[in-house]
């Protein structure tokens, strides 16, 4: 009987597939029913078995492990997570780009993430004065910390920098008043965010001054008229002009604007709050410097070099900020309790700049010495070699960039682990790494995968090795267990 059954399996490989009911008995799927329900789990198993059936019918050879109920159950779990689970998932960022916009920009500090979690899971005193028992303003949770950090008279927060820019322009130049902007600063950043279009939405009128490469104070003077309300300086966050260029220093622009009774708006972009020049990271305006130079209103992002959650920060003179907070549009873009909790915790790190460099992940990642990255890459290579990983590997010196429209001219010295797989193309490897759990996002070049550990947290290294071995196993057969 056993011999007959064996012959039938050889002549009809489809008989090697286990029944749906058998796969459903696996402990992983029994547990999954509590989260996804029996119907969804069963559908995932049927889908996995259908895919295996198609591969067998196409003449592919599948080993016993691939057809084992335990392996099929794990594949069904992956299907469930992709189809029924949240589409927004944590990933391992092995690109080396610290502020990767497509990957959510700044990772929060442990304290900021915990603060957001605690705020999300419970009631909080969002707009309640615990001392007096009266209603309060949600901005009070961050206002004083922002003023201490920047030296500003007043501060407020909205949900992103575009909203902050619109509110500032509505307050200063709404109703068609003119705002002077150098032609060399009419930027477009990711997602087709263009300053001229933001001006139009706000109701302000854009008045271009100077030329793309040369703007002098006399250009602002000639462009000023009875409808002029402000001059705006915009940091060219994702590009630089080189060669025969000239711009007006913020201090000179402020001095001139005071004489003409005009407001000065300074969009500094990334929200850098500490001096990173000791690490060779220059070219970004510092928040407190803009306030000291006398700008009436300063806007920046919270989730770039500041290292906090997505937010638009507005700082400056109290009279302007109070006008902004009275704008009906302000309520439409106010931050929620999780954003305020995370931002408050992030700002607390900056009470001591040394603490910020240690605790704010963005700052820590940007200032990691290349030698440390080299040592980590070498360790990763050796750990993979000990598992007979099927690829040619070497540690290479490379460069990376901050990303997120920050520090565009600064090439960060780094090291990468270059992997040239023995089987499968780098495109196939990159795809399979993205589609697993957790997804791994790597660089690709010269037919190889490049893993830059600058943006891989140490606690993720074991998961990274596991994911690499999973992909190798799916393409080249079993590996030693990681």
Q: Quickly name the fold that domain 92-102+366-476 has.
A: 3.90.1150
Nearest to 391 by CA among 460, 469, 474, 444: 469
Per-residue burial over 222-261, b = 16 or more CB atoms within 10 Å of its CB, e = otherwise: ebbeeebbbbbbbbbbbeeeeeeeebbebeebbebbeeee
Which two tokens mark 270?
Answer: 């990334």
Residue found by looking up tokens 């993720």 in the block: 460
Per-residue burial over 339-372, b = 16 or more CB atoms within 10 Å of its CB, e = otherwise: bbbbbbbbbbbbeeeeebbebbbbbbbbebeeee
Residues 6+ apart with CB under 8 A from 119: 337, 338, 340, 341
Q: What is the pLDDT of residue 403?
A: 81
Whole-angstrom distance, CA of residue 180 vs CA of residue 232: 6
CATH class of 110-359: alpha beta
pLDDT digit string (tens) for the chain, length 482 residues: 444 444 445 567 788 889 999 999 999 999 999 989 999 999 999 999 998 898 888 888 777 888 899 999 999 998 888 888 788 899 999 999 999 999 999 999 999 999 999 999 999 999 999 999 999 999 999 999 999 999 999 999 999 999 999 999 999 999 999 999 999 888 776 666 788 899 999 999 999 999 888 899 999 999 999 999 999 999 887 666 666 778 899 999 999 999 999 999 999 989 999 999 999 888 889 999 999 999 999 999 999 999 999 999 999 999 999 999 999 999 999 999 999 999 999 999 999 988 899 999 999 999 999 999 999 999 999 999 999 999 999 999 999 888 877 877 788 999 999 999 999 999 999 999 998 889 999 999 889 999 999 999 999 999 999 999 999 988 864 444 33
Residues 6+ apart with CB under 8 A from 14: 53, 56, 57
Q: Do domains 92-102+366-476 and 110-359 have the same CATH topology?
A: no
Whole-model pTM? 0.85
Whole-angstrom distance, CA of residue 173 vs CA of residue 162: 16
Cβ pair 45, 29 in contact under 8 A: yes
Strands 448-452 and 440-445 come out as: antiparallel
Q: What is the pLDDT of residue 78?
A: 86
Q: What 8-state DSSP symbol labels residue 16?
A: G
Residue found by looking up tokens 């300086």 in the block: 233
Cβ pair 33, 41 in contact under 8 A: yes
Q: What is the pLDDT of residue 481?
A: 38
For the chain, the domains span 2-83, 92-102+366-476, 110-359
CA atoms 169, 172, 177, 180: torsion sign: negative
Nearest to 461 by CA among 357, 362, 403, 375: 375
Q: What is the pLDDT of residue 464?
A: 98
Contacts by 21-24, CB closer than 8 A, 24 or more apart:
22/69, 23/48, 23/49, 23/69, 23/72, 23/73, 23/76
DSSP lists the bridge partners of residue 95 as none
Burial class (CB in 10 A: 0-12, 13-18, 19+), 216: middle
Which two tokens mark 61?
Answer: 């050879």
DSSP lists the bridge partners of residue 448 as 445
Strands 205-209 and 178-182 come out as: parallel
């Amino acid at each position: 009987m056993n011999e007959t059954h064996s012959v039938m399996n050889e002549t009809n490989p489809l008989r090697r597939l286990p029944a749906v009911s058998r796969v459903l008995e696996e402990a992983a799927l029994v547990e999954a029913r509590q989260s996804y329900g029996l119907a969804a789990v069963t559908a995932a198993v049927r889908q996995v078995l259908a895919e295996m059936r198609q591969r067998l019918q196409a003449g592919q050879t599948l080993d016993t492990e691939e057809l084992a109920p335990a392996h099929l159950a794990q594949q069904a779990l992956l299907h469930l997570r992709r189809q029924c689970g949240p589409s927004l998932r944590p990933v391992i960022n092995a690109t080396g780009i610290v502020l990767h916009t497509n990957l959510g920009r700044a990772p929060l500090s442990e304290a900021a993430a915990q603060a957001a979690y605690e705020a999300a899971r419970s009631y909080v005193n969002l707009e309640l004065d615990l001392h007096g028992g009266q209603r309060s303003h949600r901005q009070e949770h961050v206002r004083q910390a922002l003023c201490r950090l920047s030296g500003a008279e007043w501060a407020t927060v909205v949900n992103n920098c575009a909203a902050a820019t619109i509110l500032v322009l509505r307050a200063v130049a709404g109703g068609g008043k003119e705002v002077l902007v150098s032609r060399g600063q009419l930027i477009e950043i990711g997602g087709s965010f263009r300053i001229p279009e933001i001006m139009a939405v706000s109701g302000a009128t854009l008045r271009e001054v100077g030329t793309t490469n040369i703007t002098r104070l006399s250009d602002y003077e000639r462009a000023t008229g009875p409808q002029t309300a402000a001059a705006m300086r915009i940091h060219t966050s994702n590009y630089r002009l080189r060669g025969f260029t000239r711009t007006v220093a913020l201090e000179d622009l402020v001095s001139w604007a005071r004489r003409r009774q005009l407001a000065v708006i300074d969009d500094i972009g990334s929200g850098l709050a500490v001096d990173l020049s000791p690490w060779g990271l220059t070219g970004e305006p510092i928040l407190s410097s803009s306030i000291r130079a006398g700008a009436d209103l300063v806007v920046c992002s919270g989730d770039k070099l500041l290292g906090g959650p997505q937010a638009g920060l507005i700082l400056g003179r109290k009279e302007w900020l109070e006008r902004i907070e009275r704008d009906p549009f302000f309520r439409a873009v106010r931050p929620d309790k999780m954003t305020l909790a995370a931002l408050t915790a992030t700002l607390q790190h900056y009470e001591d700049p040394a603490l910020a460099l240690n605790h704010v992940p963005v700052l820590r990642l940007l200032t990691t010495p290349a030698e440390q990255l080299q040592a980590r890459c070498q360790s990763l290579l050796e750990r993979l070699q000990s598992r007979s990983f099927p690829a040619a590997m070497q540690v290479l010196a490379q460069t990376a960039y901050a990303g997120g429209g920050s520090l565009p001219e600064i090439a960060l010295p780094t090291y990468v682990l270059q992997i040239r797989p023995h089987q499968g193309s780098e495109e196939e490897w990159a795809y399979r790494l993205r589609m697993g759990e957790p997804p791994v996002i790597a660089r690709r070049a010269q037919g190889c995968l490049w893993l830059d550990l600058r943006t891989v947290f140490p606690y993720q290294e074991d998961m990274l090795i596991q994911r690499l071995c999973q992909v190798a196993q799916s393409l080249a057969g079993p590996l030693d267990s990681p």
